[in-house]
Amino acid sequence: MESALENAVKRGNRDMVKLLLDTCATRNLNDSTLRCTVAEAAKNAISCGDVEVAKLLLGEYDGSGAGQVKSARKGKLGVLSTLLELSDHETVLDALFKIASPENVEMSKLMLEKCDDSVFAQIFGHAAEHGFVALVQRLLDRVDPCTVNRALVRAAVRGHAEVVQALLGRCDETNIDFALEVAAWVGHADVVVMLRDRCDPGSVKNALANATAMEVVHLLSNKKARTA
């Protein structure tokens, strides 16, 4: 399908393009590979200036995020751009959550540009909880303080030390204290080390009371002894 469609697009053979779309997999665009193929062909048609073929191809795209995810993971920036133009907001958001990772930073940025400001808090919290530090840093100036404070706790409970580090300078003492207690209870020693020096003796004592891992108990006990 891919090579046949590619050749038909290169030749500007609209009838063949339509025939391939009509017959391939009974027009089942639920297959992510087919979506990606259609988007790639549409991009090529646009590059060739064949608007009619491009419209024909894009008309077969059903707006699902599967093609976005596939093209993002394969690093096909041009294909992803084409698909984003055809997708609604919810589809873009869902695909962003699926592909956000250190390996897909540039793709995530492109998808983020298509999202409404109203969902930045949702994206920010999700990124913090899953350790997507690049996405957190990109949105840090676009969310309110309450969102940042909540994100700190979500990152701490999952043990995402890099995200915790990125958020610390924007969080208030109360939430830092709470994040320490949560990290101590779960047993994330690296996060405890990062947070303990930002907390007062009372908060360290509370965190120590909740700690279960011996390494965390040792870390907090040493801090408590130094501040006694």
Would you place residue 199 in the very low, low, confident or very high pLDDT band (cuts 50, 70, 90)?
very high
> How much is the pLDDT for 158?
96
Of the two residues 81 and 152, the one the predictor is more confident about is: 152
What distance in Å separates the CA atoms of residue 78 and residue 71, rounded to the nearest whole number? 9
Question: What does the pLDDT read at residue 83?
Answer: 65
Question: What residues does each domain of the chain span?
Answer: 1-87
Choice between 150 and 57, residue whose per-residue pLDDT is larger = 150
- The pLDDT-based confidence of 49 (bands split at 50, 70, 90) is low
Residues 6+ away with beta carbon under 8 Å from 174? none
87: DSSP letter: -
Residue 204 pLDDT > 80: yes
Q: Per-residue b/e over 94-132, b at no fewer than 16 CB within 10 Å?
A: ebbbebbbeebeebbebbbebbeeebbbebbbbbbbbbb
3-state helix, strand, coil in the chain (%, to 5): 80, 0, 20
Residue 87 and residue 84: Cα distance in Å, rounded?
A: 5
> How many whole angstroms separate alpha carbon 132 and alpha carbon 103?
10
Provide the H-helix boundaries in 74-200: 77-85, 89-99, 105-112, 120-130, 133-139, 145-158, 161-168, 173-186, 189-196
Q: Which residue has the higher pLDDT, 5 or 151?
A: 151
Distance CA 228, CA 220 (A): 12
pLDDT grade for 112, boundaries at 50, 70 and 90: confident
User: Does position 93 have pLDDT exceeding 70, yes or no?
Assistant: yes
Average pLDDT over residues 120-137: 91
Q: How far is CA 64 from CA 20, 102, 206, in A?
A: 20, 24, 48
Mean confidence (pLDDT) of the chain: 79
**Token pair 């609209």: residue:** 14
Report in angstroms the alpha-carbon separations of 140 from 69, 125, 147.
Answer: 24, 11, 9
pLDDT band per the 50, 70, 90 thresholds, residue 173: very high
Residue 11 has pLDDT above 70, yes or no: yes
For the ranges 74-78, 130-134, 153-157, 221-225, the lowest mean pLDDT is seen at: 74-78
pLDDT class of 224 with cuts at 50, 70, 90: low
Q: For residue 31, what pLDDT is reported?
A: 59
Residue 16's pLDDT is 74
Q: Per mean pLDDT, which range of 26-30, 70-74, 125-129, 193-197 is the poorest?
A: 26-30
Q: The tokens 């540039």 sit on which residue?
A: 106
